[in-house]
């Protein structure tokens, strides 16, 4: 009988767990520093919550189960629907802006491949309330802040952003509507993952009309957005019909760019018309964090989703946020060799000078731990030299060697320096040797 | 359309999340202090892993699902089988003792009731390798250490322990064997939850024979175990036939009691023959942490399970450990009013003296966060008084008020004390105001 983990899931042995905690700690401290509060939802929800809005891609990736009453449940593939449900349930009691984060475990029944597993952790950061692009920019700042803490720089990653609103408007002005518009967006979403030729062929199939195709290609070629030009001028240079909606979307992109600059993170970010985002619920600015080499999947993705709370039965309240998974980020951190030695040693390793003093060892260990010190000992009765080696392997700072006649030697394992004290002293006040 | 959480699950709004984190942080720091390393397993496993050993109670409480290939999976109802699977997979590479802990999210398809939910968190602490009762005692020390950190004392909780080995031996010597023995153990496990009369009636039904019933009742009445008496003397006073197995089990209880004393936690622990533990895999010392009033379910439970690794396809390696759930513990901590104010304020709240200075506010916030300070601001443009009130609600230590002409007032919100500096100074080195 041999048991194995399910394909696409991970066993976190201590070393892998330290890495996972190191990433989660950076996410958590960046969140708190940026003024977000932590929340969490159950690991499963009624199935409806997930099928009500996310679009087919996610619905096809659900792990389904039933409760004792036979009702359909699913393990959460993302936390945003649960967030919307929770916020809707207390919408009048929660002071706005609602700035929340979470680090949920998520499961998707996908085919496992590089950077994509069936079970992963995803940092979610959301601001609910403000319509201002300031909220989008603050979410991006929070993402950058965590990546900075993990050692990444703007030479490693870029936040590539665009406007879903502007793209919709451009497609509409070119006569690409309804299902055709959705198909075109699905192809655009694959742009960075496909060879140019294949991309153009797929796009041409989805668009149909040649004039529309040319218009889309011209729009995709738009470079950086000039913060000082008028929206109408920018529309003209990108070949966009200067409708009210189009100029409004351009003005929002300009405002967003201004906030990124004021937050000091303009060099981490760039306008990129190729960003669409798969999920159906985005309504405004959208973005993906990409490695600069663009050899990996997106490290994070997010944007504005002003309709979701209402779609899930709540009032019309604006919202914006992103998710950053641990898998692709972990690959990048490894590639960039940013993972240091995460092993955490104990402070003290207590050693017996002879086996008959072992009950004193246990006694000292108990006292040390009771005052908050990390103290360890050897389960095996062996000579001092072997116990010292074990202390070293456990990364101990000091060895506490109990010698006969109530004498204790404290040995600094880095410097080798030794000091002596009495066992009775340590037992009466163990803090004296910390 | 209204969405609700599944019955028996919890939404962790920020206040509940802070409480969950407070408990988990105490668990984690006690684990590290006591020399344990963190691990984790996937949230679901192949169904076989759970049905292979735990006994029917847990198997009937599984949430089942299937993967894309139609294989049967289940959400983990406990982590011990996964722990055994992981350890077995690397048994030769892992230095012993293996001292590991985890804080898994677990799911059981039970009827929700007080202290028992369908989804909960359970701290697991295990030592794999040593056969010595020292390992059992060290696990108990670790449990006590965390409870101490959370503010509980030995007047609030007691670790009630017994020997599953001794109980088996007693039943066997009284002629209670096989299924009857399992039935009797199941009744004994309910002893603390049933009225005395009902308990005795159920026990009598399970035992059948009157002499055996009298023997069991006499055994159950055993008081504290004398550390200085011989095992044979103790057996005699408890009416136990002094077989080799029985005296060996008694000697182990004595050794365990000695280790608890040496670790300095004897006053937290007591021998209690009523402790059986439901799970089939325990083989030696078993224990439950009970509130002193015994009005709640067990706060934690564990013991020795020397056969589990072998049952799950590995070598015969000794093991011992416990699980402590967050639900009953949370109820007890609330009852004892040990939950303080867990809200975490920001360090700095940046305020504009007039709305046209808002881009400076964003700029200062971005700079402060980039040097690791927790800094917040108001999304709403409003007068200084209102912004100061908001700073107060966010628990800020200092307000940073940007006034016209590049002057910044730093106001300590506790003392009211104010100091002035220049905006340019802060922007060039934001650490000057920390």
Smallest CA-to-CA distance from A320 within A336, A335, A309, A311 is with A309
CB contact under 8 A, B344 and A100: no
Give kind and range of the element (H or E) at residue A125.
strand A119-129
Q: Which pLDDT score is estimated for B344?
A: 85
The whole-number pLDDT of residue A203 equals 94
**pLDDT in the model for residue A184:** 92
Q: Tell me how close the Cα of A50 comes to any Cα of chain B, in angstroms.
A: 10
Partner-chain contact B14 A6, CB within 8 Å: no
Buried b (16+ CB within 10 A) or exposed e, A42-56: bbbbbbbbbbbbbee
Inter-chain contact A43–B313, Cβ cutoff 8 Å? no
Tell me if A105 sits within 8 A of B43, measured CB to CB. Answer: yes
In three-state secondary structure terms, A240 is coil
Query: Sign of the C-alpha dihedral, residues A312, A315, A320, A324?
Result: negative
Reported as type and span, the H/E element at residue A300 is strand A300-304
Interface test with B, best of A6, A66, A82 (most B CBs within 10 A): A6
Residues of A in contact with B67 (CB under 8 A): 6-7, 63, 109, 118
Q: How far apart are the first and last CA of chain A?
A: 48
Q: How far does A59 lie from chain B, in Å, by closest CA? A: 14
Q: What are phi and psi of A420, to 5 degrees?
A: -115, 150
- Find chain A residues with C-beta within 8 A of B90's C-beta: 13
CB contact under 8 A, B346 and A97: no
Minimum Cα–Cα distance from B68: chain A residue? A109
Residues of A within 8 A of B42 (CB-CB) are 5-6, 9-11, 119
- Are the CB atoms for B234 and B225 separated by under 8 Å? yes
Over residues B31-73, the pLDDT tens digits come to: 999 999 999 999 999 999 998 876 566 778 899 998 878 899 9
Phi, psi torsion values for A4, nearest 5 degrees: -130, 160
Mean pLDDT of B299-306: 97
Q: What average pLDDT score do residues B406-427 get?
A: 96
B409 CA: distance to closest CA in chain A (Å): 21
Q: What is the mean pLDDT of residues B346-366?
A: 96
What pLDDT, on a 0 to 100 scale, did the predictor assign at position A56?
60
Query: Residue A61's closest chain B neighbor by CA?
Result: B68
**DSSP 8-state secondary structure symbol assigned to residue A43:** S
- Let me know: does B396 contact B346? Beta carbons within 8 Å: yes
Say whether B44 and A67 touch across the interface (CB within 8 A).
Answer: no
> A17: which chain B residues are within 8 Å (Cβ-Cβ)?
37-40
Where do the domains of chain B lie, and which CATH numbers do they carry? 14-335 (3.30.930.10), 348-433 (3.40.50.800)
**Among all residues of chain A, which has the CA nearest to that of B61?**
A68
Q: List CB contacts (< 8 A) between B312 and chain A.
A: 1, 3
Q: Is A271:A50 a contact under the CB 8 Å cutoff?
A: no
Whether B279 has a pLDDT exceeding 90, the answer reads no
Q: Which pairing describes strands B72-75 and A418-422: parallel, antiparallel, or unpaired? A: unpaired
Give the closest-approach CA distance of B10 to chain A in angstroms. Answer: 6
CB contact under 8 A, A11 and B105: no
Which chain A residues touch B41 with a CB distance below 8 Å?
5, 11-12
The C-alpha of A40 sits at a distance from chain B's nearest C-alpha, in angstroms, of 5
Do B33 and A263 count as a contact with CB atoms less than 8 A apart? Answer: no
pLDDT score recorded for residue A110: 87
pLDDT for position A191: 85
The three-state DSSP-derived secondary structure of chain B is CCCCCCCCCCCECHHHHHHHHHHHHHHHHHHHHCCCEECECCCEEEHHHHHCCCCHHHHCCCCEEECCCCCEEEECCCCHHHHHHHHHHCCCCCCCCEEEEECCEEECCCCCECCECCEEEEEEEEEEECCCHHHHHHHHHHHHHHHHHCCCCCCCEEEEEEEHHHHHHHHHHCCCCHHHHHHHHHHHHCHHHCCHHHHHHHHHHHHCCHHHHHHHHHHHCCCCCCCCCCHHHHHHHCCCCCCHHHHHHHHHHHHHHHHHHHCCCHHHEEECCCCCCCCCCCCCEEEEEEECCCCCCCCEEEEECCCHHHHCCCCCCEEEEEEEEHHHHHHHHHHCCCCCCCCCCCCEEEEECCHHHHHHHHHHHHHHHHCCCCEEECCCCCCHHHHHHHHHHCCCCEEEEEEHHHEEEEEECCCCCEEEEEHHHHHHCHHHHC
Q: How long a stretch of residues is chain A?
A: 434
**Nearest-CA distance A349 → chain B (Å):** 10
The edge-to-edge listing of strands for the beta sheet with B44-46 is B44-46, B72-75, B64-66
> What count of CB pairs under 8 Å joins A to B?
242
The size of chain B, in residues, is 434
Lowest mean pLDDT among A44-48, B5-9, B191-195: B191-195
Cβ <8 Å between A6 and B263 = no
Chain B partners within 8 Å of A107 (Cβ):
43-44
One digit per residue, pLDDT tens: chain A, 434 residues? 689 999 999 999 999 999 999 999 999 999 999 999 999 999 999 999 998 876 566 778 899 998 878 899 999 999 999 999 999 999 999 999 999 999 999 999 989 999 999 999 999 999 999 999 999 999 999 999 999 999 999 999 999 999 999 999 999 999 998 888 889 998 998 887 889 999 999 999 999 889 999 999 999 998 899 999 999 999 999 999 999 999 999 999 999 999 999 999 999 999 999 898 876 789 999 999 999 998 999 999 999 999 999 999 999 999 999 999 999 999 999 999 999 999 988 999 999 999 899 999 999 999 999 999 999 999 999 999 999 999 999 999 999 999 989 999 999 999 999 999 999 999 999 999 99
- Closest chain B residue to A117 measured between Cα atoms? B42
pLDDT at B178 over 90: no
How many whole angstroms separate alpha carbon A309 and alpha carbon B219? Answer: 62
pLDDT of residue B51: 87
CB contact under 8 A, A366 and B313: no
Q: Taking CB atoms and an 8 Å cutoff, what residues of chain B touch A68?
A: 109, 111
Which chain A residues touch B86 with a CB distance below 8 Å?
11, 13
- Nearest C-alpha in A relative to B51: A3
Q: Residue A1: its pLDDT value, please?
A: 62
Which residues of B fall within a CB distance of 8 Å from A145?
369-370
Q: Cα(B100)–Cα(A18) distance, rounded to whole angstroms?
A: 13
User: How many CB atoms lie under 10 A from the CB of residue B202?
Assistant: 18
H/E stretch holding A157 reads strand A157-163
Task: Give the residue from chain A lying closest to B148, CA to CA.
Answer: A370
CB pair distance less than 8 Å for B11 and A89: yes
Residues B125-143: tens digit of each pLDDT = 999 999 999 999 999 999 9
Contacts of A75 in chain B (CB under 8 A): 43-44, 65, 75
Q: Under an 8 A CB cutoff, do B44 and A374 touch? A: no
Averaged pLDDT of chain B: 94
CA-based nearest residue to B25, from A347, A21, A39, A43: A21
Judging contacts by C-beta atoms under 8 Å, the chain A residues touching residue B38 are: 12, 14, 17-18, 21
């Amino acid at each position: 009988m041999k048991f194995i983990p399910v394909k696409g899931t991970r066993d976190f042995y201590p070393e892998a767990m330290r890495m996972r905690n190191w990433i989660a700690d950076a996410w958590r401290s960046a969140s708190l520093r940026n003024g977000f509060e932590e929340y969490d939802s159950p690991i499963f929800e009624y199935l409806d919550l997930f099928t009500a809005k996310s679009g087919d891609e996610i619905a096809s990736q659900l792990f389904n189960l039933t409760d004792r009453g036979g009702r359909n449940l699913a393990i959460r593939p993302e936390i945003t629907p649960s967030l919307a449900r929770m916020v809707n349930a207390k919408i009048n009691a929660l002071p706005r802006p609602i700035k929340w984060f979470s680090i949920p475990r998520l499961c998707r029944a996908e085919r496992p491949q590089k950077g994509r597993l069936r079970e992963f952790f995803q940092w979610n950061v959301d601001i609910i309330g403000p319509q201002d692009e300031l909220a989008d920019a603050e979410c991006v700042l929070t993402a950058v802040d965590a990546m900075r803490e993990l050692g990444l720089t703007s030479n490693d990653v870029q936040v590539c952003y665009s406007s879903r609103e502007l793209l919709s408007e451009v497609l509409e002005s070119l006569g690409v509507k309804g299902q055709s518009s959705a198909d075109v967006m699905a192809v655009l979403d694959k742009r960075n993952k496909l060879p140019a030729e294949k991309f153009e062929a797929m796009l041409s199939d989805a668009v149909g009309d040649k004039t529309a195709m040319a218009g889309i290609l011209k729009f995709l070629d738009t470079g950086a957005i000039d913060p000082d030009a008028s929206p109408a001028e920018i529309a003209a240079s990108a070949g966009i019909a200067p409708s009210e909606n189009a100029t409004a979307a351009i003005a929002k992109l300009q405002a967003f760019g201004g906030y990124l600059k004021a937050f000091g993170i303009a060099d981490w970010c760039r306008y990129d018309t190729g960003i669409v985002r798969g999920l159906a619920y985005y309504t405004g600015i959208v973005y993906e964090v990409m490695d600069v080499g663009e050899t990996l999947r997106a490290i994070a993705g997010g944007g504005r989703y002003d309709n979701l709370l209402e779609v899930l039965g709540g009032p019309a309240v604006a919202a914006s946020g992103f998710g950053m998974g641990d898998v692709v980020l972990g690959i990048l951190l490894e590639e960039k060799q940013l993972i240091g030695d995460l092993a955490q040693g104990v402070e003290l390793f207590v050693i017996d000078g002879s086996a008959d003093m072992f009950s004193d060892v246990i006694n000292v260990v108990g006292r040390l731990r009771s005052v908050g010190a990390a103290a360890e000992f050897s389960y095996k009765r062996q000579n001092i030299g072997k116990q010292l080696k074990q202390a070293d392997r456990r990364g101990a700072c000091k060895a506490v060697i109990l010698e006969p006649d109530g004498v204790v030697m404290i040995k600094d394992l880095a410097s080798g320096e030794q000091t002596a004290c009495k066992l009775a002293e340590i037992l009466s006040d163990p803090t004296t040797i910390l």
